[in-house]
Amino acid sequence: MLFRLNEEHLMIQKAARDFAQTECLPGVIERDEKQKFPREQILKLADLGFLGMMVRPEYGGAGMDTVSYVVAMEEISKIDASVSVCMSVNNSLVCFGLQEFGTEEQKQKYLVPLAQGKKDGELYIGAFLLSEPEAGSDATSQKTTAENKGDHYLLNGTKNWITNGGTASVYLVMAQTNRSKGSRGINTFIVEKNWPGVTVAAKENKLGIRGSDTHSIMFNDVKVPKENQIGADGFGFKFAMRTLAGGRIGIASQALGIASGAYELSLKYSKERKAFGTEIMNHQIIAFKLADMATRIEASRLLCLKAAWEKDCNLDYTVSSSMAKVFAAETAMWTTVEAVQIHGGYGFVKEYHVERLMRDAKITQIYEGTSEVQRIVISRDLLK
């Protein structure tokens, strides 16, 4: 067993770190304050091949492995989690789902530009529409319907908390086609944002990841051609679960990055800031906090890399990805709160970044399955 990144992973790590420092760090505080979507940064991510990292080259992707994705997500999330969530959703929830379960026609039409992040020179990304106003964790209880009308479906309903909701050109939408069948009566459809009957509500005003583009999306008699259905009838819920298992590796890596970003800032500050005649890191109460941060972050990193490795080896990674997500998310929340504490008053103002990281950390315990949902997935497996 080798606990070491290879040359290619190290190159990707450096590219992601350089990108985060030169492209994401400038303006990150202002984008957070003004809730400004990081369009320029996402376009540059597209040029780096980071929007379709694991898509095979014949479909326009970079053909990298999931370990590379974890490494890149950590580096970018250290600096700007609003950029990395957009990257994660496009890679793991949208491109993965299409590459794995789409038809050849769907791949040519949608996956190729989504993996490149551009179409005709313009930004072209996707979103994943599962959650609803009254169906978040209990995803089977969704109310959006798709009525079979012969050569097309008629889509009606509302989805919410949709990352990339306003910016995406393509939505992967889960909808009930046969309510009596419960989770087996759900299909997934590819829907284009500019089709008649699609309405994008106002951007949500959020606690964290404020640059990211979160909206509700309404469907009113939207005609969806049959060829835009992904997989067989009734496959929609399993599609969502299979796709989310990979997505959770992405969000776990985002949480890992937020935690390591806060830790690096805290370590630096502790070596510079003096109190009671010495740098604060020489006080055991601070040194022990840093030691605990470093340990929990390393454990999170190993869980993320293990889940990624299992995915790359075509092993079942469902439980590992849930373990990585719940642990890394809780590490991110704990680490960022402690980072603010170490910084004292400076931690409470925006210029020192840690208060933003603390606000950004919270969502990693909520989206793509709350920490409670991850514990459902893990405990059900233990009890099998």
The active-site residue, picked from 132, 338, 355, 368, is: 368
Quote the least distance from Cβ 175 to ligand CAA, whole Å. 14
Q: Which helix (H) or strand (E) holds 191?
A: strand 186-192
83 vs 303: CA distance, rounded Å:
23
Is the CB of residue 254 less than 8 Å from the CB of residue 84?
yes
Decide if residue 367 touches ligand CAA (CB under 6 A). Answer: yes
The site that binds ligand CAA (CB under 6 A) totals a number of residues, namely 25
Decide if residue 376 touches ligand CAA (CB under 6 A). Answer: yes
Candidates 1-9, 73-81, 224-232, 234-242; binding stretch for ligand CAA (CB under 6 A): 234-242
- Give the Cα-Cα-Cα angle 207, 212, 213 (nearest 5 degrees): 105
Of the pair 162, 333, the CB lying nearest ligand CAA is at 162
Active site residue 30: no
Give the Cβ contact number of residue 378 at 10 Å: 17
Decide if residue 315 touches ligand CAA (CB under 6 A). Answer: no
Is the CB of residue 177 less than 8 Å from the CB of residue 145?
yes
Of the pair 228, 243, the CB lying nearest ligand CAA is at 243
170 vs 192: CA distance, rounded Å:
5
Quote the least distance from Cβ 255 to ligand CAA, whole Å. 13
Decide if residue 237 touches ligand CAA (CB under 6 A). Answer: yes
Give the Cβ contact number of residue 199 at 10 Å: 13
Q: What are phi and psi of 119, to 5 degrees?
A: -140, 130
Given candidates 148, 183, 341, 371, which one binds ligand CAA under the rule CB under 6 A? 183
Quote the least distance from Cβ 248 to ligand CAA, whole Å. 8
Segment 121 to 180, residues that bind ligand CAA, using CB under 6 A: 128, 130-131, 137, 139-140, 161-163
Candidates 5-13, 68-76, 215-223, 235-243; binding stretch for ligand CAA (CB under 6 A): 235-243
The amino acid at 97: G
381 vs 133: CA distance, rounded Å:
29
Closest CA to 262 of 349, 363, 360: 360
Is the CB of residue 116 less than 8 Å from the CB of residue 60?
yes
Segment 251 to 310, residues that bind ligand CAA, using CB under 6 A: none
What residue spans of the chain are helical by DSSP H? 7-19, 28-34, 39-48, 66-79, 81-88, 96-101, 104-106, 112-116, 236-272, 284-312, 318-343, 354-363, 371-382
* Contact pattern from residue 14 through residue 53 relative to ligand CAA, giving x for each residue in contact according to CB under 6 A and a dash for the rest: ----------------------------------------
Of the pair 161, 352, the CB lying nearest ligand CAA is at 161
Candidates 28-36, 97-105, 199-207, 236-244; binding stretch for ligand CAA (CB under 6 A): 236-244
Quote the least distance from Cβ 239 to ligand CAA, whole Å. 9
Beta-ladder partners of 135:
132
Candidates 44-52, 65-73, 147-155, 239-247; binding stretch for ligand CAA (CB under 6 A): 239-247
> Which residues bind to ligand CAA, rule: CB under 6 A?
89, 128, 130-131, 137, 139-140, 161-163, 183-184, 237-238, 241-242, 244-245, 318, 367-369, 373, 376-377
Residues labelled catalytic: 368
